[in-house]
Amino acid sequence: MQIGTLGRTSISVSRVGLGTMMLGEMIPPAEAKRQLSHAVERGINFIDTSEMYPAPLRPTTFGLTETLIGEWLSETGLRDRLVLSTKVVGPPPREVIGPTKTLAYIRDGKTRQDRANLRAGIEGSLRRLKTDYIDLFQPHWPDRSTNDFKKLGYVHDPKDRPVPIEETLDALDELVREGKVRAIGVSNETPWGLSRYLSASERQGKTRVATITNAYNLLCRTFEVGLAEFAHREDVGLLAYSPLAMGVLSGKYLDGNRPDGARLSLYPHPRYTSEAAQRATAAYAALAREHGVSLAAMALGFVAEQPFLVSSLIGASTIAQLDADIDASLTPLTADLRAGIAAIHAAISNPGP
C-alpha cells in the first residue's frame, strides 16, 4: 500500500488508516480484534483511536476501544510494526450527540487542553493501550469556541477564555521530550488554530504539528477552502475522518431509509442528513450509478486520491466491508467521474460541514 509521512517527521503511514470509533460497541470485541488483524494483513499500518471511544459516548464504555486495542497489541506483539494515534478530549462541547448528552463524566469535566489534562489523557491512553509510547498524539478538538463541528462559518464568542495554544503546545512538547509521544497533531482544527501552533513551534523551538485530523468527504470539503493550502505549504497533511460521512455515502439512508442495525438507525446524528446533504447524496449516488461504480467506492476513492491527504481513516462493520473499503480507497477515479463530482460540488458545496 502507498505510504506517506506524518508532516516533517520520519513516521510512515499507509494511505488507508483504520478508524476505530465503532470498535467495542457496534463491533463486539472478538470481531474488533479480527478486524484489526485483517487490516494489518491488508497493509494498513496506521491505527487511529481516542481515549473517549467507542461511540456512542457513554461513561460505562469510556476507554473501551483503547483497552481492546491494547489487548490485541499484546496478544499479537504487533506494537512496533504499527503507527498508533490517539487523542485527548477537550472541554465538553455545549451539545453532545448521543445517549449521555454530556462528556462531563470524563475527569469530572476538567478537560481543558492544559498541561494537567494532556498528562492525564496520555497516561490513561498508554495504560489502556499497554504501550509506553504513542506515535501520534492529538488534542481531539480545540479548547476554544470555533467552527469545528457542523458549523460552516465562524461565529465569535467574546466570552470565551480558552487555554492559550502556546500552553497546549508546551505541554505536548513536554510529552514528546519524555518519550511518551513521537509526533503531535491537531484535530477538528481551523486555519487560525493551526497557524498559532505553527508560529509557536517556530518561535519557541517546540515540536511541530505533523498532521490535522478533520472530517473530509464528498459532503464536507471545507478543508479545501482554507486548510489545503497549509497542508501543501507547511507539510501538515490531512488525516481524513468520516470519508463515508458516517455511512451516509453508502447510500443506504437515501429516501429516509433507516436499515436495521445500521449506525444512523441506532444512533441518529444530524451532521450529514440535512436536506441539502440528502440532495447531494442522491446526486452523487446517481453519478456513481451512471459510471457503474458503487457510491461508497466512489466516495472513498475520491478522498484517498486527494493530494493534501496523508491517510484516509476508514471504519467498517464487517471484514468484507473493510476489504471493499480498502480496495475502493486504492482505486483512482476516472477523469469523467472527477468532472461529475466537481459539477455536483459546484451546485451543492459542503452540505455537511
Contact with other proteins (CB under 8 A): which of 68, 82, 227, 239? 227
Selected from 30, 81, 153, 261, the binder of other proteins by CB under 8 A is 153
Pick the binder of other proteins from 214, 222, 273, 281 (CB under 8 A).
222
149 sits near other proteins (criterion: CB under 8 A): no
Residue pointed to by grid coordinates 477564555 = 161
Cell numbers standing for residue 301 = 476513492
Instruction: Give the chain's end-to-end CA distance (angstroms, integer).
Output: 30
Q: Which three cell numbers stand for residue 114?
A: 492544559
In the structure grid, which three cell numbers stand for residue 211, read together?
498532521
Q: How far apart are CA 231 and CA 224, in angstroms?
A: 10
- Output the smallest distance, CB 328 to other proteins, in A: 22
Of 80, 132, 255, 275, which one interacts with other proteins (CB under 8 A)? 275
CA angle 122–128–134, rounded 5-degree value? 45
Nearer to other proteins, 149 or 192 (CB): 192
CA angle 213, 130, 113 (to 5 degrees): 40
Distance of CA 15 to the CA centre of its chain: 14
**Residue 246 per-residue DSSP state:** T
Residue whose CB is less far from other proteins, 81 or 94: 94
**CA neighbours within 13 Å on the CB side: how many for 105?**
14
Among 16, 228, 239, 298, binds other proteins (CB under 8 A): 228
Q: Which of 276, 332, 336, 339 binds other proteins (CB under 8 A)?
A: 276
Q: Which stretch binds other proteins (CB under 8 A): 91-99, 257-265, 269-277, 283-291?
A: 269-277
Q: Work out whether 146 is an interface residue with other proteins (CB under 8 A).
A: yes
Specify the residue, 46 or 308, whose C-beta has the smaller distance to other proteins: 308
Maximum C-alpha span of the chain: 54
Among 116, 225, 286, 339, binds other proteins (CB under 8 A): 225
Q: Which stretch binds other proteins (CB under 8 A): 85-93, 94-102, 147-155, 265-273?
A: 147-155
Residues 6 or more apart whose Cβ sits within 8 Å of residue 22: 54, 55, 263, 315, 317
Residue 53 among the catalytic residues: yes
Q: Cα(333)–Cα(299) distance, rounded to whole angstroms?
A: 10
E-only strand ranges, 188-295: 209-215, 237-241
Site track 156-185 with other proteins (rule: CB under 8 A), x = hit: x-----------------------------
Active site residues: 53
For other proteins, the binding residues (CB under 8 A) are 146-147, 152-156, 190-192, 195, 198-199, 202-203, 221-222, 224-230, 232-234, 274-276, 307-308, 345-351
